[in-house]
Structure 1
Amino acid sequence: MNITLRQLRAFIAVAELGQFNLAARSLHLTQSAVSILIRDLESEIGVRLFDRHTRMVCLTLVGQEFLPQARKILKDLELAVGDVRDNASLKRGQVTVAAAIVLAATIVPPIIARFLRMYPEVTVNIRDMPEEAISPALKRNEVDIAVGTLSEDDPEIVGTPLLRDKLMLFCNEDHRFAKRKSVRWAELQEENLIVLAATNPLRNLVEHNLIRVVPNFRPNYEVRFSTTAISMISAGMGVAVLPENSSQLASAVQVETIDLIDPPVMREISLLQRRHHSLSPAAAHLKAAFVAWAADRNKLLSSE
C-alpha cells in the first residue's frame, strides 16, 4: 500500500471543510491537485471516500470510519517528529554513562552536574561498575558512553582521550615506604601485593611493569575494587599499585601514596563508545562536556 501523507492531509481537509476549493486553499494547493490526491487515495484503498455533489462533498460510510484513523496517523507522526526534534534540541532526552568505580566517585559527578545545569530536561543515568564490565555493557547497548581505560585489543570500542594519571604505590602510613618520595618497581619484590582482578585493564598495565623487574611476581590478594584494596592497605594487609586518582578515596584512612619510578607509568583515561555507533544528541552533548572539561583541566595543568 502506497498511501502518502499529502493524501491523508488532503482527505482530512476535504472532510472537515466540505469543499475541494476550501481544502485546497487551506493546504496552499490548487483545487485540481487536491482532487488528484483524493482520487489517488481512493484508488489505493479501493473504495470511495466521498460522495460528490455540485458544490459540496460528504463522506461515505467508509470515509466516516476512516477519518478518525487518518487523524490519529497524522497526530502520532506529529508527536514522533516533535519527540525527535526535542531530543535534538535537548529539550528532552536520556543518556546512560558508565564509569569505573573510582572515576564514578571522583571526576564524573561534577561534569554531569555542570551538564545538567545547562540541559536540565535531559535525564542522565550513572552506572558505576568494575573497569572490566564497561566494554561488555557498551557492546550490549546498556550504556551510551563510558569513562575508563581503553583496552587496546578490543576493536569494537573506540576511546577519546580525556586525561592521564600515573600509577602510584599505596601503602599504610606505618609502612617502611610511607615517608619515601619515590619507590622503584623492583623494590616491590618482597611486598604483600594487592592487585585488581585479572580482567581489569589496569591489572595488565601493573603486571607488565612488575614482571619486567620481578619475573616471579605473584600477588598475595586479588580484589575487584580499588576501594577494597585501599581498605586492606589501611588494615596493614599489604600494598597496591593504583592510579593516582584513587588517592581521593584514601584521604580518610591511614594510607599514603608514593611515586613509582624506574619507570614512571601513566595510564590514559578515555571517553569510550562503540565504534561505528551513532550517539543520541544527549549522549553526544554529554561526551562533548567531558571533552571540554578535560581540555580545560589540561590547559590549567600546563600553565602551572
Structure 2
Amino acid sequence: MSKDVTLRQMRYFVAAAQNGQFSMAAATEHVSQSAITNAVLALEETLGTRLFERLPQGVALTPDGQDFLNHARHILDSVRDAIYKAPFRSHDLKGTVRIAASYTLLGYFLPELLGRFRATYPHVELDLRDADRPEIEQAILDGDIDLGVALLSNVDHLKRFQHHVLIRSRRQLWTAPTHPLAQVNSPSLADIAAYPYILITVDESERATLRYWKENGVEPNIAFRTSSMEALRGLVAHGFGVTILSDMVFRPWSLEGKRIDARPILNAIPQMDAGMLWRKGATLDAPALAFQQFLIHACGS
C-alpha cells in the first residue's frame, strides 16, 4: 500500500487539512484545485476510508483523517529534517539556548520540535522555562533569555521586539457528535450563542475569545470557565457545552475516548499566531541562531 502513496499527495492532504478548503490549499501549494482534489481522492482510495467530510464552506477532517494527518506530518517533517542544510556543523556546535515558552506552546507545539532540534544538534543544551507572556516579554527585554516562544496574537506592542510568525492556527467550533450544532455545516456565532459555552482561560484565552465575540456583536452563553484543557475536552465530548479553539490544540478524542468534532465557523474569526520573540538589536550567539533558524525551517515559515 505504501508504494502507492507519494510525498506530494501527503503534502497536498496536509495543506487541505490546515486550510479547511481545497481552493485555499491549492493557492498555498501553487497548484490547481483539481490537483488537491485528486491527491485526496487517491489517498482515500488507497487507505479505504474517508479523510474529509465535504461541507458547503469547505472540508473537515474525519477521525481517520485526523489520525492520518498526524502520520503524514511526521513523515513530511522527517524528510524535511533529512535534507535540511544546517547553518552550522551540527555535531560540532556546543552551547546553551535560553528559551521561555507559554503554556499552550509548551504543551501542544514545542515538544516535537525540541526533539527534532536535539537530534540535529545533540550537543546543544536547551534551558527551557515555563512562563506567561508578560514574563517572557520582560525576560527578553532584560536579556535573561535568548528567545521567547509565545502567542504573538496576544502581544500588545509587538514592535518592541524582533519577531517571526511560525504558525497561524485556524479556530474552529468543537462539539460532541450528537450536539445539534454538529449537524450544522458552518454555524455562525449567533448559532453558537444559543448553547452553553465552555471557556478556556489559560494563555489569555478568555481575553482573546471575548474580543472576537465582541467584534462580531454577539455574546457567548458562558456556562463554565476552566484552566484545564482536558476538563474542557471531557465536557465538550459529553455534550455539556461547545467551545471555539485553534487547530493547534485540537484532538478528536477526550481522555475517556469520547469523540470530539470540529466545524468551521461562518463568521470571520482571527487565527491564532504563534511565533518567536527576541530583543531588538540583539546578536544571537551560534546555538540560539541555530535554534531560531531550525524553527523557521521546521515550520516552513
The TM-score normalised by the length of structure 1 is 0.58
Letter matched to residue 181 of structure 1: N
SS of 1:190's equivalent in the other structure is coil
**1:248 equivalent in structure 2:** 251
1:150-165 alignment to 2 at 5 Å? 150=152, 151-154=154-157, 155-165=159-169
Contact 2:91/2:123 (8 A) holds in 1 = no
- Counterpart residue number, 1:4: none
Which ranges of structure 2 fall in alignment gaps of 5 or more residues? 1-89
- Cα pair distance change 1:219/1:138, threshold 3 Å: farther
Identity of aligned pairs, percent? 17
- Indicate the residue corresponding to 1:207 in structure 2: 210
Within the alignment, does 1:171 sit opposite 2:175 as a pair?
yes
CA RMSD of aligned residues (A): 3.2
Cα separation, 1, equivalents of 2:129 and 2:109: 14
1:270 pairs with 2:275: yes
- The answer to whether the 8 A contact 1:101-1:225 is kept is no
Instruction: Answer yes or no: is the 8 Å Cα contact 1:94–1:123 preserved in 2.
Output: yes
Quick one: structure 1 residues 112 and 267, their matched pair in 2 at CA, closer, same or farther if it must change by over 3 Å? same
Query: Which of 94, 104, 107 does residue 105 from structure 1 map onto?
Result: 107
TM superposition shift of 1:242: 0.7
Question: Measured at CA, do residues 107 and 192 of structure 1 come closer, stay the same or move farther in structure 2, by a change above 3 Å?
Answer: same
User: Residues 192 and 218 (structure 1 numbering): CA distance in 2 closer, same or farther, change over 3 Å?
Assistant: closer
Displacement of 1:120 in angstroms is: 0.8
| Residue aligning to 2:229 | 226
Q: State TM-score, norm by structure 2.
A: 0.58
- Distance of aligned partners of 1:240 and 1:118 in 2 relative to their CA distance in 1, 3 Å threshold: same
Aligned equivalents of 1:135, 1:197: Cα separation in 2 = 20
Q: Distance in 1 between matches of 2:122 and 2:162?
A: 28
The one-character-per-residue Cα deviations of 1:164-198 (angstroms, maximum 9, x if unpaired) are 11111112232112243322122122222222338
1:257 is matched by which residue type in structure 2? A
CA–CA separation in structure 2 for the residues paired with 1:146 and 1:235? 36
Aligned length: 209
* 1:266 partner letter: Q
**Could you say which structure has the larger radius of gyration?**
1
